[in-house]
Amino acid sequence: MQELKNHLSTTLKHLRKNRGWSLDATAAATGVSKAMLGQIERGESSPTTAVLWKLATGFQVSISSLMEPLPEISADTVIRDAEEIRNIPGDKGMAVAPLFPFEPRFGFDLMELTFLPGYERVSEPHEPGVIEHITVMSGKMEILTDDIWQKLEKGQTIRFRGDKPHGYRNRNDEKAVTLSVIHYPHRT
């Protein structure tokens, strides 16, 4: 978790500096309070997934770029282990493993998302054009899209617009593990 805080702190400072944004300008662009931005930059806060998404949308970067450094472009075969990279953002009840973080040449993040029993979150729209794909690998869960909670079971997949309000919930007694592909069409 400390590695995530350190990376996010450094990345946020770098993004602000490159854009010449003050904390006030960053707060206006992201919808994250100045106080929270300061805490993140000082490594004092473990932001929720919702806050990470606000930052990603405001800066127009992938959410995975806030979780770990962008990978070096490589034509070699790459193997990653979700157990080794899984982390739990500040919103308890959900674990994220950025299996293959965003690379401009591909235009998407591939993440394993684990939703514990009772987890529910409604997400604000991401930047225009973002599309999400969710495949349930184990358990059951629901995805909110077009104002309807869609029930999904193991092996089922859904694609929906991430630039509209949407949500995730697990009302079951067991965790739900999913694969998520988030496509950023304007960054390819």
Per-residue DSSP letter, 187:
G
| CA nearest to 179, candidates 144, 139, 135, 120 | 135
Q: What is the pLDDT along the chain (188 residues), one digit of tens a residue?
A: 567 678 889 999 999 999 999 999 999 999 999 999 999 999 888 788 889 889 998 998 888 888 877 666 666 788 888 888 787 665 688 988 889 888 888 889 999 999 999 999 999 899 899 999 999 999 999 999 999 999 999 999 999 999 999 999 999 999 999 999 999 987 64
The DSSP bridge pattern shows strands 131-138 and 157-161 to be antiparallel
For position 75, what pLDDT does the model report?
A: 65
For position 85, what pLDDT does the model report?
A: 79
Say whether domain 2-66 belongs to CATH 3.20.20.140.
no
82-187 has which fold?
Jelly Rolls (2.60.120)
As given in the structure block, the two tokens for residue 15 are 């993004």
Q: How many CB atoms lie within 10 A of CB 132?
A: 22
User: CB–CB of 40/59 below 8 Å?
Assistant: no
Q: How many CB atoms lie within 10 A of CB 7?
A: 16
As given in the structure block, the two tokens for residue 133 are 């794909």
Q: Give the C-alpha separation, 114 to 47, whole Å.
A: 17
> Can you give the residue ranges of every domain in the chain?
2-66, 82-187
28-51 burial code (b ≥16 CB/10 A, e <16): ebbebeeebbebbbeeebbbbbbb
For position 188, what pLDDT does the model report?
A: 47
Give per-residue pLDDT as tens, 10-35: 999 999 999 999 999 999 999 999 99
